[in-house]
Amino acid sequence: MCSSPAILSVGNKLPTGNNLPVELNLFLRESAINLEHRDAIPRPRSFDEDNLTIEAVIASTTPVRRRDARGEFLEILDPVGLDVATTRGASVLNSHDQSSLDAVLGSLDDVRVEGNEVIARIRFSSRPEIAPIVQDVRDGILRSLSVGYQVDQWKAGKDANGVRTMTAVRWSVREASFVAVPADPTARTRSANDDRAIRELGRRAGASVERVDALIELGASIDDARRAFLNDMLQRNVVVHSSRTEHNVITLDNPETFVRAAGEALYQRIAPSHSPSGPARQYIGLRIADLAGEVLRRNGITTTGMTGETMITRALHSTSDFALILGDTVGRTLRAAYQSAPSGIRQLARETSAQDFRKKTRLQLDASGFTLAKVNETGEFTMGTMEESGESYAVDSYGKIFGISRKALVNDDLGAFADLSRRLGQAAGAFEAQFLVDLVVANSGLGPVMSDAKKLFDAAHGNIAASGAAPSETTLSAARLAMRKQTAKGGGLISVTPRFLLAPPDLETSCEKLLTAIQATTTDDANPFARLSLVIEPRLASATRWYLVADASEIDGLEYAYLAGAPGSQIETRAGFEVDGVQVKVRLDFGAGFVDWRGWFTNAGA
């Protein structure tokens, strides 16, 4: 995939919120000069002569610097939000040429997510006219790959350094292209000679082994590595000046900046592929005891003659900075695990925020029954009204306290609390998913009671099948028709468009077969539901019940909220008293509810 500050958008401007317009938004990531601007590292490998296939990493979580009306931001593609069903089968083109069938080289035969990367198997066509191109790919002459993708939903946020981010939480790859000139210099295969050259260059530049390994893993070219090592050397020579207004200036004299930098450096030992910020680089590789000593020295406490164990003990009880550093590291590990947790049902819900813990009421203005009337000869306009309806839910607090023992700190055992914080991050993601599922399956699968005293799925709501049956063309057609005929409170049609098929894992294989797009040669072969995205949620209690769901950006439905300013799990730390070490409190302020029933339809199955 290629990247640059520029985005090619067909028919739309870059979105500034979480939701996209209904029209198509197809982006091409174009040329990147610096390694940091890359959003993916295509690395073709394992050419299969018999099947004419080759594998490539086509996307990753590496952020790309973009610009919109609000200024610069980092764009991130979340592999968890990839619509694998839509991506699978996408065309592989020659240089993004979408105007001719002759430009089709093959297709993405298979797509899978591995950690922070999206890996695709490319199957080439056996047409004689493209045989020279396939031969060049086989020989390693054509090594550059670019990916065009469509984003259906964005999530705004900030990274650990406070930089604005826009994360694509629902997106799909629409096409991939082999290109003559690599838009991203790293978007190509490398030989073992490249790796050796980078290691030798890193040794001469005084780079750490972890830094060299990270560049090689990211697929850096020799030129990219040379620029990265030069930037590192310049950073090491920067003189950090102090400032009287330390809380308003980003220097290491600022305690908050020091805590973040030291915490990030410790995190880099847990996640070696993490590229540290400038302030964190001088602390890279330090042991826990070394950081404890630095904390003491910054607070005017001499460490001459102190052992590592003594420095850790003194740092725990003499200043809060040391506990905050450990908390920063735990928080980074927890957030990474939380963000990588399988999303499942979260894809179908809209994220919002709540200002406090009182009930959050969602008022819906319905203008569907508000019709225009002819103005009479006297020029008098008649009065009209808008109907209001409302559902409510509240945010509540959930959390745990766990301890990092002094023994683990003295032993410099990062794995002891890194593994625990990862589990907590995964548990937070699982908790949210279970919370949403519990709403859907409440009352024996009929959902929560709404403001009209009827359950979510009710015949009066027109969103439940009269009799259960497995997903098929017939049952999906009936569900879609019911959604199309939904009316608002004012009586006007709102024509809800289904976007997702939600099913338990028991129905995964049959649903995949049902939704798989085919190359139709006759009208009877056409798959009318190929645009539906399959969402499998293993937490669904029923092995047969399935749901048809509209996009949350089109119509209100399932919604979840965090307390304003505190999205996701939050971390607090203090030196332990009951626990000989550091106590870490994990808090999640979270709530969810259905704010409308019209975007959901259910069938009990058979």
pLDDT > 80? residue 600: yes
What digits encode the pLDDT tens for the residues 457-481?
999 999 999 999 999 999 999 999 9
pLDDT band at 170 (very low <50, low <70, confident <90, very high): confident
Residue 229 backbone phi and psi in degrees, to 5: -65, -35
Least trusted range by pLDDT, from 8-22, 134-148, 472-486 = 8-22
**Residue from 45, 63, 41, 64 nearest 54 by CA:** 45
pLDDT band at 43 (very low <50, low <70, confident <90, very high): very low
pLDDT > 70? residue 40: no
3-state DSSP call for residue 60? strand
Residue 599: the pLDDT is 93
Q: What is the mean pLDDT of the chain?
A: 77
Residue 530: the pLDDT is 78
pLDDT > 90? residue 447: yes
Residue 511: the pLDDT is 93
**Residue from 27, 7, 24 nearest 67 by CA:** 7
Least trusted range by pLDDT, from 95-99, 266-270, 532-536 = 95-99
Q: How far apart are CA 185 and CA 218, in angstroms?
A: 12
pLDDT > 60? residue 231: yes
pLDDT band at 248 (very low <50, low <70, confident <90, very high): very low
Pair 553, 499: CB distance under 8 Å: no
Least trusted range by pLDDT, from 126-140, 382-396, 548-562 = 382-396
Report CA torsion sign: 541, 353, 340, 177. Answer: positive
Residue 517: the pLDDT is 60
Token output for 261: 């930098």
Residue 245: the pLDDT is 38
Residue 3: the pLDDT is 35
**Residue from 381, 421, 414, 345 nearest 592 by CA:** 345
pLDDT > 50? residue 139: yes
Residue 36: the pLDDT is 28
- Could you tell me the domains of the chain? 26-178 (no CATH), 360-393 (no CATH), 396-519+527-603 (3.90.1690.10)
Mean pLDDT, residues 85-92 taken together: 86
Least trusted range by pLDDT, from 94-103, 185-194, 495-504 = 185-194
pLDDT > 80? residue 200: no
pLDDT band at 182 (very low <50, low <70, confident <90, very high): very low
Q: How far apart are CA 408 and CA 80, in angstroms?
A: 33
3-state DSSP call for residue 248? coil
Most confident option among 108-117, 187-196, 412-421, 464-473: 464-473
pLDDT band at 11 (very low <50, low <70, confident <90, very high): very low
Residues whose CB is less than 8 angstroms from the CB of residue 395 and which lie 6 or more positions away in sequence, other chains included: 354, 356, 357, 360, 561, 562, 563, 589, 590, 591
pLDDT band at 16 (very low <50, low <70, confident <90, very high): very low
Most confident option among 131-145, 510-524, 534-548: 534-548
How open is the CA angle 17-435-328, to the nearest 5 degrees?
Answer: 65
Residue 238: the pLDDT is 45
pLDDT > 90? residue 296: no
Mean pLDDT, residues 354-370 taken together: 68
pLDDT band at 403 (very low <50, low <70, confident <90, very high): confident
Alpha carbon distances (Å) from 400 to 159, 403, 579, 580, 597: 24, 10, 14, 18, 34
- DSSP secondary structure string, 318-356? H-SHHHHHHHHHHHHHHHHHHHHS--GGGGGSEEEEESS
Residue 69: the pLDDT is 62
Mean pLDDT, residues 386-409 taken together: 78
